[in-house]
Chains A and B, each alone.
Chain A
């Protein structure tokens, strides 16, 4: 691959980045080529030592998406960052997807139970409407207690979800530092 092919391929893989950032990255590599050529190396030799532009782009994209996920913690951003990090290595399918599924399951379960608890008086109410003769006070008070409990769980879940999201983004960041760095031999 010569210089132009390398740069084109890198540019193409970085389409998702803003053109400013892309120019900046390409400038770094142009500089690298210029320095190598000044030392008498061939373009082909330099690009072979640099490694695959595709892989370099993947690393750049993963850290870009992570940053975005950190700035605005929307579910979409986090999922996009997660896929980018997973893309850095097959190894990550287990290491990243596993904890993510576990955490997501926990969060969903927590919210589901809190919503069920909060709505339980409504269920008692519906039950009374349908079968008025089965009403006992115990049901009513018990469901009111559950409702209160559900509100507490909801508040707890609110903070926990936030904490989990932040923790997970940090974990992704840590992961990109560790996984598939400057590898030459896979």
Chain B
């Protein structure tokens, strides 16, 4: 898939995954890469940026399996941003789907 495109979408993916529950970095990366081919390392710069923009807060929690994990929690500001991005995404994908449908049926 197109590269520019993916970056904007990655942001949406991370926000969506944090809507229902807090997650730690590795978990987020795994969830996303199960669905889309990404270079996993680029999720971390994204997480840092969104945290600095106050869309997330973070906290550390012990885990039974290894070192303590940094969890990301969506803030109200982040939730609002998620709504906005989701709306934009739906408009966009509906538009593209419509064009694909028309294009395919014309041929």
A: residues with CB less than 8 A from B are 25, 27-32, 34-38, 49-53, 55-56, 59-60, 63, 67, 91, 177-186
B10 in contact with A182 (CB, 8 Å) = yes
Given known contacts A55-B42, A181-B7, A182-B6, A63 and B48 CB-to-CB distance under 8 angstroms = yes
B76 within 8 A of A: no
B: residues with CB less than 8 A from A are 3-4, 6-11, 24-27, 29, 33, 36-49, 52, 65-67, 69-70
B10 contact from A55, A56, A181, Cβ within 8 A = A181
Sampled A-B contacts (5; CB under 8 Å): A32-B26, A34-B67, A178-B4, A180-B4, A183-B39
Please, which residues of chain B bring their CB within 8 A of the CB of A180? Answer: 3-4, 7
Minimum distance in angstroms from A151 CB to a CB of chain B: 40
B37 in contact with A178 (CB, 8 Å) = no
Please, which residues of chain A bring their CB within 8 A of the CB of B43? Answer: 182
Looking at A28, A60, A63, the one whose CB has the most chain B CB atoms below 10 A away is A28
B3 in contact with A28 (CB, 8 Å) = no
Residue of A nearest to B69 (CB): A31
Please, which residues of chain B bring their CB within 8 A of the CB of A178? Answer: 4, 7-8
Please, which residues of chain A bring their CB within 8 A of the CB of B24? Answer: 31, 35
B29 contact from A27, A32, A34, A63, Cβ within 8 A = A32
B45 in contact with A49 (CB, 8 Å) = no
A183 in contact with B29 (CB, 8 Å) = no
Given known contacts A49-B33, A50-B39, A181-B3, A28 and B67 CB-to-CB distance under 8 angstroms = no
Residue of A nearest to B2 (CB): A183
B4 in contact with A179 (CB, 8 Å) = yes
Q: How far is the CA of A32 from the CA of B31 in the complex (A)?
A: 14
Given known contacts A28-B25, A31-B70, A177 and B40 CB-to-CB distance under 8 angstroms = no
Residue of A nearest to B43 (CB): A182
Looking at A31, A37, A49, the one whose CB has the most chain B CB atoms below 10 A away is A31
